[in-house]
Amino acid sequence: MPPSTTSDPSRSESFRALIYIVLQQYYDFIFFWTDVFAHIITIVVLAKMEYPFHLPRVQAPNLGRWHTPDRQC
pLDDT, tens only, 6-23: 556 788 899 999 999 988
pLDDT for 1 equals: 45
Q: How many residues comprise the chain?
A: 73
Average predicted confidence (pLDDT) for the chain: 77
Q: b/e for 19-49, b at 16 or more Cβ within 10 A?
A: eeeeeeeeeeeeeeeeeeeeeeeeeeeeeee
Give this prediction's pTM.
0.43
Among the residue ranges 12-21, 28-37, 58-67, the one predicted with the least confidence is: 58-67
CB 17 within 8 A of CB 25: no
CB of 12 within 8 A of CB of 6? yes
Share of the chain above pLDDT 70, in %: 58
